[in-house]
Amino acid sequence: METRTTEPPGPVIRMEGVTAGSLRDLSAVAAEVGDWTVNPSDFWVVAGLQGTGKSDLLMLTAGLMPPARGEYRLFGEPMPIFEDARLAERLRLGLVFDGGQLFKHLTVWENIALPLRYHRNLTKSEAAAEVRPFLEATELEPWADSTPGALGRNWHRRVGLARALMLQPEVLLVDSPLTGLDPQHTNWWLGFLGQLSKGHPLLGGRALTLVVTAAGFRPWKGVARQFAVLANRRFVVLGTWAELEKASEELVRDLLPPETRAG
């Protein structure tokens, strides 16, 4: 009997010699990324101070702009992907913008359902059953028929998250989800993203590959599994939490404050 071997899956994200430009000025250098590999089921946190290029790196990774230099492949496909013939590959990736970037004239439900209605041409009644579990999981049911103006900014991100998950992507990029949140919202995000990385019922129990930007590392201890830093226009892979703690003080000093102890 012939024995078939299964080839291991390739990288989700593979960057080689990449320089990230700035969304505001594509001729400017936001960060020298170099080589970076993200494998299936990785959970990366990329931390950096304000203005270090975190959002620019994420927009490049999302395919919203090309690398200034180098090559970037998503699931082996050259990025960015703009052609309709390759759209299916592009939709394997979801993006949650800082602040959600919602359509203000649409209700919360309409914002979340938008990918289904646009990419799968579903009617409102056809999309309703698919949207409901995402509303429930993100605790947005009470505001389903409200426009974003009726919600606090904390909740806008959850709407953006639910929308990004509607097409059940294989990799999810999340831009600074914890910025400005109170402890209750912070704990919700850490718990929910942790569930997604291990396999959430919303995605049929399939583990999601995650890349998240952050202003600091400490909240992500025990949640994320791989870490990198953006500093001085350079992207530096640190590795696991244990490797992060051994990194040079200069790289992580401002991003890894001491743990607080209860009095």
Q: Are strands 226-231 and 43-47 parallel, antiparallel or unpaired?
A: parallel
SS3 content of the chain, % helix, strand, coil (to 5): 35, 20, 45
Distance of CA 197 to the CA centre of its chain: 11
| Residue of 228, 224, 246 lying closest to 237 (CA atoms) | 228
| Residue of 94, 63, 97 lying closest to 177 (CA atoms) | 97
Measure the CA–CA gap between 58 and 6, rounded to whole angstroms: 32
Residue with tokens 């569930």: 195
Count of other CB atoms within 10 angstroms of residue 259: 7
pLDDT value, residue 260: 52
In the chain, the domains with their CATH numbers are: 11-92+171-250 (3.40.50.300), 102-168 (no CATH)
**Is the N-terminal amide bond of 80 cis, ω within 30° of 0?**
yes
pLDDT tens sequence for the chain (263 residues): 444 444 457 899 999 999 999 988 877 899 999 999 999 999 999 999 998 999 999 999 999 999 999 999 999 999 988 888 788 888 999 999 988 789 999 999 999 999 999 888 888 889 999 999 999 999 999 999 999 999 988 899 999 999 999 999 999 999 999 999 999 999 999 999 999 999 999 999 999 999 999 999 999 999 999 999 999 999 999 999 999 999 988 889 889 877 754 44
**Which residue type is seen at 27?**
S
Residue with tokens 């992580």: 252
Measure the CA–CA gap between 53 and 109, rounded to whole angstroms: 32
Based on its alpha-carbon atoms, the radius of gyration of the chain, rounded to whole angstroms, reads 19
Measure the CA–CA gap between 17 and 87, rounded to whole angstroms: 25
Measure the CA–CA gap between 161 and 94, rounded to whole angstroms: 9
**pTM of the predicted protein model:** 0.92
